Amino acid sequence: MSTHGKSLHCQESEDAAAYVLGALDEPEFYRQHLATCTVCQAEVARLQPVVDTLPATVPPQSAPEGLRRRVVSVVRAEAELLRVAGHEADEPPRRGSRWRRPRGAVLAWGALAASVAAVLAIALTAGSSEQTRVTNAQVAVVGAHASLRQVGGHSELLLAGMPQPPRGRIYEIWLSRGAAPQPTDALFGVTRHGSGAVAVPGSLHGVKEVLVTSEPLGGSSHPTSTPLIRVAV
């Protein structure tokens, strides 16, 4: 197969979903593969933000006991599907230096994640009396995602796929009301997966944009770099 052909497809990409869910038995082999495969890198970059931001996408709420039982029932049912899929074939073929997970098991992991995510989202939002508003951001970093979540008077910036700030620098949140952006005390980094959840200080009343720039450690009183993230409020 030509190099061009390899750039369009990779059989290993079917393991991307299991990898981001932590479902691979020997993830170190896939990490080694990721170092040289742009197809799998793109697939992991597409899936990782969903896994990273899912726990923070809705405000925590106490679910009714009946709903809790339905969530547990769904999880158990999907876990059984996963068990069956993992044993539906004989010993999986060995390829290279690792054992591959049967494709049925990979798909079952995806089904489990999707079902649990959907049910938990319903459970967490059930009974909430405050309206939630989520606004997608413009992000200058390729492959990165950000959104602003507002619940009542609380605002939070959710990030995924962001690189770590350069050495000696940190991310800073700014509020723009139409004039020069005003600094906040929200200075932050991100996890090794590029995810983060940062509270936006103060009220957004009258604010037109929430901005994020890379600044020297300790923050700045005036932006020293072009905004990496812009959210129109």
Cβ contact 189:179 at 8 Å? no
Instruction: Give the rounded distance of the alpha carbon of 65 from its chain centre.
Output: 29
> Looking at residue 14, what is its pLDDT?
78
pLDDT in tens, 52-96: 666 555 555 555 666 556 665 555 555 555 555 555 444 454 444
**Dist CA 197 CA 190 (whole Å):** 8
**Dist CA 197 CA 158 (whole Å):** 5
**Dist CA 223 CA 215 (whole Å):** 7
Which domains are delineated in the chain?
A: 3-125 (no CATH), 132-232 (2.60.40)
> Looking at residue 75, what is its pLDDT?
58
> Looking at residue 114, what is its pLDDT?
52
DSSP code of 228?
Answer: S
Mean pLDDT, all residues of the chain: 75
**Dist CA 153 CA 227 (whole Å):** 25
pLDDT in tens, 11-26: 787 788 878 777 777 7
pLDDT in tens, 177-200: 988 999 999 999 998 888 888 999
Residue 62 structure tokens: 């106490």
pLDDT in tens, 140-181: 999 999 999 998 889 999 999 999 999 999 999 999 998 899
> Looking at residue 93, what is its pLDDT?
47
In the predicted model, is pLDDT for residue 119 greater than 60? no
Residues 6+ away with beta carbon under 8 Å from 77: none
pTM for the full predicted model: 0.50
Per residue in 58-89, is it b (16+ CB within 10 Å) or e — as a string? beeeebeeeeeeebeebeeebeebbeebbeee
> Looking at residue 223, what is its pLDDT?
95
Q: What is the arithmetic mean of pLDDT over 224-233?
A: 96
> Looking at residue 216, what is its pLDDT?
95
> Looking at residue 227, what is its pLDDT?
97
**Dist CA 189 CA 43 (whole Å):** 24
